[in-house]
Amino acid sequence: MTGENLAARVRQRIAAGTTPVTPAAIVSAVRAEPDAAVLGDNALLRIAGQVRDDLVGAGPLAPLLADPEVTDVLVNGARVWVDRGQGLHQVAVPVGTADDVRRLAQRLAAGAGRRLDDGSPCADARLADGTRLHAVLSPVATDGPYLSLRTFRQRPFTLDELVAQGAVARPVAPVLAAVVSARLAYLVIGGTGSGKTTLLNTLLGLVPATERIVLVEDAAEVRPVHPHVVGLQARTANVEGTGAVGLSELVRQALRMRPDRLVVGECRGGEVVDLTT
């Protein structure tokens, strides 16, 4: 039996059972297979990791998301595109059929507490590892499903690093630092992948440690290096159509939380009015 067949067999057995999908449970399930007796420790852990990715992780996309050079993974139907900082190029990744991709998208969205089905065919979510997920299902996605996954740098850049890499012009850096120091309101705008979140993380890292930062986001992705940060994340409606909590409501709640700095990520609607009135 090949490693792929062994992984599929273990995956099916765990999926059919009621045992919590923990790393220890997956390793035990792999060891229980007769064919596992000939596996070394490295091979056993590799298969266990593959099973976990297929059950609770990003499945066949997991190796791409683990690659430190990858910034974006896009799936169009059953075709996969990757950006490693030099533009998008197609890669051969066995994601299965469009139905397999749909199930993967729904599992990832559900794991992040988002609804994704025929009644709500679009979802925006943050995965457990910080990866940003956006998914659109057919028929809204005409040749879908479409998945857009964006990874984030674990440690934000310093302002000096942004200058050194050419992301911020040297004369502009002291102006940005002065804006933060003066506690002025500012807006970070730009196209997709232009570095908005990177710059915002950097600027929030300049906030004095004696101040409290409250983040309000549709999908949590801003992660500044600061000792006092609290976050509020919007929630979509449940299957009954109730329970939604929008950004406007979260802005009102945040104002009662004694924020020294209030940050709203990705303003797209009425929350803009709340910030400017």
For tokens 């945040």, the residue is: 254
Q: From the CB of residue 27, how many other CB atoms can be counted at a distance below 10 Å?
A: 19
This prediction's pTM: 0.66
Q: What is the pLDDT along the chain (277 residues), one digit of tens a residue?
A: 455 666 667 656 655 555 565 666 667 777 667 666 556 667 767 776 666 666 556 778 888 988 888 989 999 999 999 998 788 999 998 888 999 899 889 888 887 778 888 888 998 888 877 788 999 999 999 998 999 998 876 667 899 999 998 989 999 999 999 999 999 999 998 887 788 888 999 999 999 999 999 999 887 788 899 999 999 988 877 667 778 888 888 988 999 999 999 999 877 666 667 666 6
Domains and CATH numbers, the chain: 3-56 (no CATH), 60-150 (3.30.450.370), 159-275 (3.40.50.300)
The pLDDT, as a whole number, for residue 54 is: 62
> Do 252 and 205 touch, CB atoms closer than 8 A?
no
The candidate with the shortest Cα–Cα distance to 231, out of 198, 208, 201, is: 201
The pLDDT, as a whole number, for residue 234 is: 85
The pLDDT, as a whole number, for residue 21 is: 59
The pLDDT, as a whole number, for residue 209 is: 95
